[in-house]
């Protein structure tokens, strides 16, 4: 029977070796877990915390280094200094590498080298362990000594606590720093230094404190994150923040930054897939996305929006099969193609001409009257026009999404957005975030729709909550806010005031949807203490669980001001042309204009004459004309349309949704039923009541001159 022998100091020594071995494995994991493919100032904070652990480990192993401590102190102070440069950080890590080299010399090479050489001079070659010998036999004694020494020191260093892992860590850092300094000019290096990839993206469903403010998320993103936290049904998604906008040129122009950014987007998409049980780019169960702008200061309609992103002909086929609704699938593709083409400067009128041509060809007045096959033909005609214009339509869903994120950023610099900011006195330096969410379909059936509502009556101030706005059936949200379709009122009270030419309201025909919206508004205004809101919604069916909240922002209250009105006697003698929705300003009489050139002409010829811009609908590109004119009259749109919102902000008299108005901008004329008007003719409009009259009607009040 064999005995055993234990001695506490040997047991402790063995335990120490095992703990050091485990610690070295953990150090390896610590180095592997940090992303060093792209190094920014934010990365240096992570690096510093790891270096502190390495420093403590070396001290525990009896290794002290004045050089290492000096570099640690410099790095710690650099993280607190504004304006510290990339090349300064490069110098710091060169100093770290030198400190580690000195440690190796002081504690290993200088201690063992002479003794090792003496031993090698005395040991026959055959007595040297095989692992120390070169694979190829050599007669070069000095070369043999060097080879044996290298393996010996490497083994000794590997047994020390953290030193080998520290050397590897610093080597990876320096490789990336040298690569970045070689690939980027000084101005981009400084931009990279101040770029924080972790601030470039945030999940709406899991907000993080690092980027939860309005500067990073924009007003839309900030509110969506709050609404989600309140438990309201916000489509899952994420926000690409203004950090990515600010560093857009760096992300586009430096492959490691672009790779890092794309990886973050893919990670966020996978999170949406888990929440929705849908798959991005998979026809059998497709996830489509909305991609929308969101600046800290609202610029209604001025920046690009893309719906149904991630779609192609294969996805369309999958949507049609899954929904058993071919019309819905091809209508969604048609809508995507239009916003895609317009991002490449194709005109809305060109798309409108195509769908109008098909309506005339088939004798169908409304697009919802198309069959699925007919809607397919419309969509393919859109596609042909885009491709004939030389625009490449990206088919791969992720590349499509990535390109459109960049397109939203690019739209910040568009002429219309720049013009709006100059008019409104908004700085160009804000930039925009991009909100990306699961697509909710208001065009999926006759029980679906979308809309925008105010929580309070926009016509006069008051504390009583009254829903007021516009909605449309079988349409997606952009149709309503852009004023492209004839909308219906939200409430019966609103219908009684506006006297629209419809008996359909959300309150009467979709009571469950209406009551749910009212509950949300009550919760935000009375329980959460929010100011009056403007809220966008979409419903995929007529049940409360089919309803989603897409946006909420502070309502621009339309103050009650003393304005001009029509003379009561003159009104009885005036010829009525039509009736719309009065959304801004008082009564006004002036000349009809259609273009900026006409406005300039009349400003020169008759400086005192008021000018009324007439449009079928207004698109954001019309901002110059709207600003230059005194009033706006549109055939389509409701009280929440871009035309109404922008006209109010610019303090213009405005009437929208004049149903019998047909506008021909190219020919510079319009008609109200059988009455035709040309550029320069006089009309009179009432921005309060919505009435439209032919000729000059006498005014009374403040603006009655």
Q: Which domains does the chain have, with CATH numbers?
A: 8-191 (no CATH), 198-438 (3.30.1490.20), 449-554 (3.30.470.20), 565-700 (3.50.30.10)
The half-sphere exposure of 535 on its side-chain side, counting CA atoms within 13 A, is: 33
pLDDT (0 to 100) of residue 705 = 36
Chain center to CA of 638: 26
- DSSP type of residue 365: S
Of 236, 220, 230, 234, the C-alpha closest to 523 is: 230
**Containing H/E element for 523?**
none
Asked if 436 and 237 count as a contact pair (C-beta separation under 8 A), the reply is yes
Q: Which long-range contacts (CB under 8 A, 24 or more apart) does 136-143 make?
A: none
- Please, which residues bridge with residue 294 across strands? 433
Per DSSP, the three-state class of 140 is coil
The half-sphere exposure of 7 on its side-chain side, counting CA atoms within 13 A, is: 3
pLDDT (0 to 100) of residue 704 = 41
| Token pair belonging to 348 | 């809305």
Cβ neighbours for 220, distance < 8 A, ≥ 6 positions apart: 292, 293, 294, 433, 435, 551, 553
Of 577, 574, 641, the C-alpha closest to 612 is: 577
pLDDT (0 to 100) of residue 551 = 93
Q: What is the mean pLDDT of each run of 10 residues along the chain (705 residues)?
A: 64 70 82 92 94 90 89 94 90 94 78 69 70 65 64 66 86 94 92 93 86 88 94 97 95 94 97 97 97 91 93 96 96 96 90 92 91 96 97 97 97 92 93 97 95 86 83 84 79 87 92 97 94 94 96 75 83 90 90 94 94 84 89 87 83 90 90 93 92 93 52
Which DSSP string do the residues of 253-305 spell out, in sequence order? H-HHHHHHHHHHHHHHHHHHHHHHT-BTT-TTSB--EEEEEEESS--TTTS-E
pTM of the shown model: 0.86
Instruction: Find the distance separating the first CA and the last CA of the chain, reported in whole Å.
Output: 121
pLDDT (0 to 100) of residue 131 = 66
Whole-number Å distance between alpha carbons of 461 and 464: 9
Kindly give the interhelix angle for 326-343 and 372-388, rounded to the nearest 10 degrees. 20
pLDDT (0 to 100) of residue 149 = 64
| Beta-carbon count within 10 A of 114 CB | 10
CA distances 542 to 234, 471, 484, 539, 611, Å, are 17, 13, 23, 7, 44
Relative to beta strand 611-615, strand 587-593 is: parallel
| Beta-carbon count within 10 A of 427 CB | 9
437 phi-psi bin (left φ>0, alpha ψ -120 to 50, beta other): beta
């Amino acid at each position: 029977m064999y005995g055993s022998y234990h001695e506490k100091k040997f047991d402790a020594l063995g335990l120490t070796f095992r703990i050091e071995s485990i610690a070295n494995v953990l150090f390896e994991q610590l180095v592997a877990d940090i992303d060093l493919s792209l190094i920014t100032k934010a990365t240096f904070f992570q690096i510093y915390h790891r270096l502190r652990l390495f420093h403590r480990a070396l001290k525990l192993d009896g290794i002290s280094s004045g050089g290492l401590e000096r570099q640690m102190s410099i790095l710690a102070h650099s993280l607190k200094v504004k304006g510290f440069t990339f090349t300064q950080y490069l110098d710091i890590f060169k100093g770290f590498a030198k400190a580690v080299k000195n440690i190796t010399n002081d504690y290993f090479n200088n201690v063992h080298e002479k003794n090792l050489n003496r031993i090698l001079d005395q040991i026959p070659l055959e007595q040297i362990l095989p692992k120390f010998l070169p694979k190829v036999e050599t007669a070069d004694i000095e070369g043999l000594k060097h080879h044996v020494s290298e393996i010996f020191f490497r083994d000794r260093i590997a047994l020390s606590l953290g030193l080998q892992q520290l050397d590897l860590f610093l080597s990876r850092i320096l490789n990336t720093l040298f690569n970045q300094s070689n690939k980027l000019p000084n101005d981009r290096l400084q931009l990279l230094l101040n770029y924080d990839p972790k601030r470039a993206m945030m999940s709406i469903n899991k907000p993080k404190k690092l980027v939860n403010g309005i500067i990073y998320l924009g007003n839309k993103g900030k509110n969506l994150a709050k609404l989600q936290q309140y438990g309201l049904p916000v489509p899952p998604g994420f926000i690409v923040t203004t950090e990515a906008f600010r560093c857009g040129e760096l992300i586009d122009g430096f492959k490691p930054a672009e790779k890092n950014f794309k990886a973050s987007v893919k990670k966020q998409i996978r999170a949406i897939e888990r929440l929705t049980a849908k798959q991005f780019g998979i026809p059998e169960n497709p996830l489509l996305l909305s991609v929308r702008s969101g600046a800290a200061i609202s610029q209604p309609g001025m920046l690009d929006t893309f719906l149904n992103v991630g779609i192609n002909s294969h996805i369309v086929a999958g949507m049609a099969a899954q929904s058993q609704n071919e019309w819905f699938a091809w209508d969604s593709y048609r809508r995507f193609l239009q916003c895609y083409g317009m991002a490449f400067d194709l005109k809305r009128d060109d798309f409108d001409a195509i769908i109008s041509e098909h309506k005339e060809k088939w004798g169908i007045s409304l697009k919802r009257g198309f069959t699925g096959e007919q809607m397919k033909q419309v969509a393919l005609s859109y596609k042909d026009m885009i491709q004939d214009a030389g625009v490449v339509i990206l088919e791969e869903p992720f590349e499509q999404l990535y390109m459109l994120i960049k397109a939203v950023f690019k739209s910040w610099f568009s002429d219309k957005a720049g013009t709006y900011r100059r008019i409104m006195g908004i700085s160009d330096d804000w930039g925009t975030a991009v909100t990306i969410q699961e697509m909710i379909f208001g065009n999926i059936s006759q029980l679906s729709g979308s809309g925008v509502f105010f929580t309070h009556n926009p016509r006069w101030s008051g504390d009583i909550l009254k829903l007021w706005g516009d909605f449309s059936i079988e349409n997606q949200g952009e149709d309503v806010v852009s004023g492209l379709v004839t909308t219906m009122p939200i409430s019966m009270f609103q219908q009684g005031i506006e006297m629209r030419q419809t008996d359909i309201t959300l309150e009467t025909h979709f009571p469950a949807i209406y009551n749910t919206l009212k509950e949300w508004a009550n919760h935000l205004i009375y329980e959460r203490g929010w100011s009056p809101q403007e809220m966008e919604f979409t419903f995929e069916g007529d049940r409360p669980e089919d309803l989603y909240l897409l946006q909420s922002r502070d309502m621009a209250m339309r103050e009650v001001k003393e304005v001009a009105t029509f003379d009561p006697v003159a009104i009885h003698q005036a010829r009525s042309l039509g009736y719309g929705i009065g959304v801004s300003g008082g009564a006004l009489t002036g000349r009809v204009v259609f273009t900026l050139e006409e406005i300039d002409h009349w400003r020169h010829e008759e400086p005192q004459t008021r000018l009324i811009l007439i449009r079928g609908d207004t698109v954001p590109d019309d901002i110059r004309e709207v600003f230059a004119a005194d009033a706006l009259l549109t055939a389509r749109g409701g009280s929440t349309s871009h035309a109404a919102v922008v006209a109010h902000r610019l303090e213009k008299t405005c009437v929208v949704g004049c149903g019998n108005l047909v506008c021909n901008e190219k020919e510079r004329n319009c008609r109200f039923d059988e009455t035709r008007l040309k550029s320069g003719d006089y009309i009179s409009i009432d921005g309060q009541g919505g009435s439209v009259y032919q000729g000059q009607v006498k005014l009374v009040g403040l603006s009655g001159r």
